[in-house]
Amino acid sequence: MKALLAISLLVMNPAWLGAEEQYLTKVRTYELLVAEAMKHLGTKYRLGGCAPGGFDCSGFVSFLFGKFGVELPRISHEQAGEGKRVGLRKVKKGDLLFFRGSNIKDRTIGHVGIVVSDKGEPVRFIHASTSKGVVISELSTAYYKDRFRKARCFRELKRKVKI
């Protein structure tokens, strides 16, 4: 019985074996960014908000990217000039999607979101919606599909980190 207890303790706590390094795993920074973004689902919308008490779309993006060492301008149409342009068929987690604002006739960028779906899946993104706060939406909905302007990726988010 004592041997069984000792084995179970070793299995549950590999540090006792001095083998904690083998249990570390490497993940891409964009995976961590998306996981952090998901923690904010349901956060209320606040015009000009750039903190967990309330976000607007560009404040949400700049807050999250800043946590992972990528400094972005505070306004969505300025954020749209950062990173590298990527085709919609190649977007992946962590990439940014940019949209026209609520006036579809105005071609100016007025909204931004972060892709949370994997490459090849239907594109879903997390963003701060004026009516619902931080939510996940699908690009295939008519509202966003009609307003989509471009996507940008950031090489800084591709690096692997140990967790």
Catalytic residues: 57, 111, 127
DSSP characters for 44-113? PB-TT-EETTEE-HHHHHHHHHHHTT----SSHHHHTTSSEEE-GGG--TT-EEEEE-S-TT--SEEEEE
Q: Is-contact 95 151, C-beta < 8 A?
A: yes
Torsion region of 67: left, alpha or beta (phi above 0 gives left; psi -120 to 50 gives alpha): alpha
